[in-house]
Amino acid sequence: MKTKFSLCLYTAIAVTAAMAATSCKNGNDETGYYGTYHAVMPAADCPGISTTVILDSNGVYTIEREYLERFSAYRETGKYTENEGKLTLISNDNDTSYLKIADGAMQWLDRQGNEITGDLADSYMLKRVLPLILPDKMEKEKAKITGNWVEPVPGMPGQFQGISLQSEGKAESINMATLQYESWDRIGHVIFLNGKSIGNGMTIEFTDTLLIKSCTKDSLILASKDGMEIRYAKETL
């Protein structure tokens, strides 16, 4: 199932990466291909598609795709089977993809299960992500973006509003009566904020899709599709 709104994937990455650490150290044999793979694949209308494939030992996979420099990212989940070095991935929406097991990598195949050839063939080779590096990096990124982020309220000196991003994908509004954030998700540099807008006797559910332009331990800069930037500072208690 392709979704923008599921909970963060960091735990799943850590688990599958740990599995990879205990599997075959010399390439990918029939039991050693579990783990996380990444490549930036070609795209027609953006610099590339940052693609991460996670394979667990129970036949379940996850694919995250981020369209670089665009406000678009997707997550796909499903099940896979292996036969003679080829993986068949069937999503929860019944879409089929194929991977070929390579030495320490996965080769993305075309819709018919054939190798992609030509000048861009190497771009479809997903390299295994080092299991001891990825979880640490992802946990640092996760810790960096969680917390209470606030900005000054226009025309109200000394007043602040913003959003609380919590570690399990929960979100809450800060000093915003008509805007209620409920959850958030992140894929690459794209963040999705889900909630409800309340006013005039109506409640409207919404999803804001924003680009993370910068994130440090003290500041967060988000950009909307129309180019507007929201500059937050981390609230200190």
CA atoms within 13 A on the CB side of 212: 20
Identify whether residues 113 and 162 lie together within a single domain. no
In a shared domain, residues 127 and 152: no
CATH number of the domain enclosing 126: 2.40.128.640
Task: Tell me, yes or no, whether 134 and 208 share the same domain.
Answer: no
Same domain, 60 and 109: yes
In this predicted structure, what is the pLDDT of residue 8? 36
Residue 42 confidence (pLDDT)? 95
Query: Does one domain contain both 31 and 116?
Result: yes
Q: What is the CATH number of the domain that holds 222?
A: 2.40.128.280
Co-location of 132 and 154 in the same domain: no
Do 208 and 117 lie in a common domain? no
Of the three residues 138, 172, 198, the one that is the final residue of a domain is: 138
CA 132 → CA 17, 102, 227, distances in Å? Answer: 7, 21, 37
Answer yes or no: do 117 and 217 share one domain: no
User: 11 with 101, same domain?
Assistant: yes
Name the residue with tokens 């195949």: 109
**One digit per residue, pLDDT tens: the chain, 237 residues?**
444 433 333 334 343 444 444 443 434 444 579 999 999 999 998 999 999 999 999 999 999 999 998 889 999 999 999 999 999 999 999 999 999 999 889 999 999 999 999 999 999 999 998 654 444 455 555 558 999 999 999 889 999 999 999 988 999 999 998 999 999 999 988 999 999 999 888 999 999 999 999 998 899 999 998 889 999 999 976
- What's the pLDDT score for residue 2? 47
Give φ, ψ of 135 to 5 degrees. Answer: -60, -40
The whole-number pLDDT of residue 32 equals 79
Query: In three state form, how does the secondary structure of the chain look?
Result: CEECCCCCCHHHHHHHHHHHHHCCCCCCCCCCCCEEEEEEECCCCCCCEEEEEEECCCCEEEEEEEECCCCEEEEEEEEEEEECCEEEEEECCCCEEEEEEECCEEEEECCCCCECCCCCHHHHEEEECCCCCHHHHHHHHHHHHCEEEEEECCCCCCCEEEEEECCCCEEEEECCCCEEEEEEEEECCEEEEEEEEEECCEEEEEEEEEEEEEECCCEEEEECCCCCEEEEEECCC
Structural domain containing residue 131: 2-138
Domain final position from 120, 138, 156: 138
Give 184's contacts (C-beta < 8 A, 6+ positions apart). 165, 169, 170, 171, 191, 192, 193, 194
User: Which of 138, 166, 181 is the last residue before a domain boundary?
Assistant: 138
Query: How many domains does the structure of the chain reveal?
Result: 2
Nearest to 196 by CA among 204, 186, 207: 204
Q: Are the C-beta atoms of residues 68 and 49 closer than 8 Å to each other? A: yes
Q: Are residues 124 and 153 in the same domain?
A: no
Q: Same domain for 130 and 184?
A: no
- Examine the domain organization and report whether 153 and 128 are in the same domain: no
